[in-house]
Amino acid sequence: MDQDDRDWWRRGIFYQVYPRSFGDSDGDGVGDLKGIIARLPYLTRLGVDAVWLSPIFSSPMADFGYDISDYTGIDPLFGTMEDFDALVAAAHDSGLKLILDLVPNHTSDQHPWFIEAKSSRDNPKRDWYIWRDPAPDGGPPNNWLSEFGGSAWAYDEPSGQYYYHAFLAQQPDLNWRNREVRDAIYDVMRFWLRKGVDGFRVDVIWHLIKDADFRDNPTNPHYRADRPPHEKLLTQYSTDQLEVHTVITEMRGVTEEFDNRVLIGEIYLPLHRLVAYYGNDLRGAQMPFNFALLSTLWSARAVEMIIADYEKALPPGAWPNWVLGNHDRPRVASRVGPAQAPVAAMLLLTLRGTPTLYYGDEIGMRQVAIAPDQVRDPFEKNVP
């Protein structure tokens, strides 16, 4: 693969690594950066072209690193900045690209920004997060729900206001309507791009902008009792706002300050809304992740229909992509069965577009039963 090819991502195979459980170099039971370096020869033999790492930044680990307390630091659990620099160099020497997980929707509640914001109503960082007065009855400002269970609003007694968290209360959402917030995250992106990373997978990118009037979300008429409780409401006002596309265009502009970089968006939306994230004139994300294969009925007719609908919905000139598995979804071998797992992999690797694999799917890894007292995942603990 030509390292100077700006469209390398169109022909590459992406491979997601969950660092905690990929390669443990020091025997402490947790994967680390040196462990990833040791396995780069395996990845080159496998034939992948780009490695995407789930978060490795400093974090209290309330949500396994998706609660960041320092965007430009490496968590000691995974190693040091020197280890990271060595990983970038080793990956590039092996002909591999390296993609980082950018988590710009929210920080940890231990991030210095939030500690300042929480300190007083008139702190300069206060508007970096989303604060609202209580409803007339003293309760949350509106009916928005956390994806991890319960209200999406946490009450801060000293200031008498609520702050918004789409996920855990320890993950307060940033206010992306604030110009200073945008510029701060763009500087974070530049920090890592200068270190040589080849792009970003942007976490929950469709969440970044919320309704300016904080209107109540409508009820979901199709909700079923066996589904997660946050699905009782449609996220009409808390996600996928029109203004988010301006933000994504700005992010794309930051990556284009550097040569041959890629911007990938995590987006769980219906096809007709997903394709909008390519942006006007394709100035949005080069790859808004297409997760259709993760949840479709596994039958030839259903898969054929998904492929046809997706290709038809793509804007002119947009490049398709397909995802077979990730850290948020059951293993493909458990979902479709071990006999069908190779068929799924063959489908992924022969469809038009860029494929993304989750580590271990290439050897048919399956789900493992976890005893209730061993559960650590925050969603599973809150919504068993």
pLDDT digits (tens, 9 = 90+) for 174-227: 999 999 999 999 999 999 999 999 999 999 999 999 999 999 999 999 999 999
**Structure confidence at residue 376 (pLDDT):** 85
Q: What share of the chain is helix, strand, coil (3-state, %, to 5)?
A: 35, 15, 50
Tokens read off for 117: 């914001």
Answer whether residue 3 shows pLDDT above 50: no
Which residues are 129's β-sheet partners? 174
Neighbour tally for 234: CB within 10 Å: 15
Tokens read off for 255: 């990556």
Whole-number Cα distances in Å, 280 to 37, 174, 288, 315: 38, 25, 13, 9
Answer whether residue 121 shows pLDDT above 70: yes
| 163 membership: H or E segment, kind and range | strand 161-164
Taking residues 145-154, what's their average pLDDT? 97
The mean of the pLDDT values for the chain is 96
17-25 contacts, C-beta under 8 A, 24 or more apart = 17/51, 17/52, 17/53, 17/54, 17/359, 18/54, 18/327, 18/358, 18/359, 19/53, 19/54, 19/56, 19/78, 20/54, 20/64, 20/65, 20/77, 22/359
Domain ranges in the chain? Answer: 8-104+179-208+244-382
Which residues are annotated as catalytic?
203, 257
Taking residues 35-62, what's their average pLDDT? 98
**Structure confidence at residue 1 (pLDDT):** 44
Each residue's pLDDT tens digit, 255-312: 999 999 999 999 999 999 999 999 999 999 999 999 999 989 999 999 999 999 999 9
CB 101 within 8 A of CB 55: yes
User: Which range, of 237-246, 278-287, 322-331, averages the lowest pLDDT?
Assistant: 322-331
Whole-angstrom distance, CA of residue 231 vs CA of residue 65: 24
**Percent of the chain clearing pLDDT 70 (strictly above):** 99
Each residue's pLDDT tens digit, 347-371: 999 999 999 999 999 999 999 989 9
Whole-angstrom distance, CA of residue 255 vs CA of residue 178: 20
Local structure of 378: helix, strand or coil: helix
**Structure confidence at residue 383 (pLDDT):** 82
Query: Predicted confidence band at 4 (pLDDT cuts at 50, 70, 90)?
Result: low
Whole-number Cα distances in Å, 195 to 43, 72, 73, 146: 22, 11, 13, 35
**Structure confidence at residue 299 (pLDDT):** 94
User: Which range, of 236-240, 305-309, 325-329, averages the lowest pLDDT?
Assistant: 325-329
CATH of 8-104+179-208+244-382, one of 3.20.20.80, 1.25.40.80, 3.60.20.10, 3.90.580.10: 3.20.20.80
pLDDT top residue among 241 and 328? 241
Taking residues 40-65, what's their average pLDDT? 97
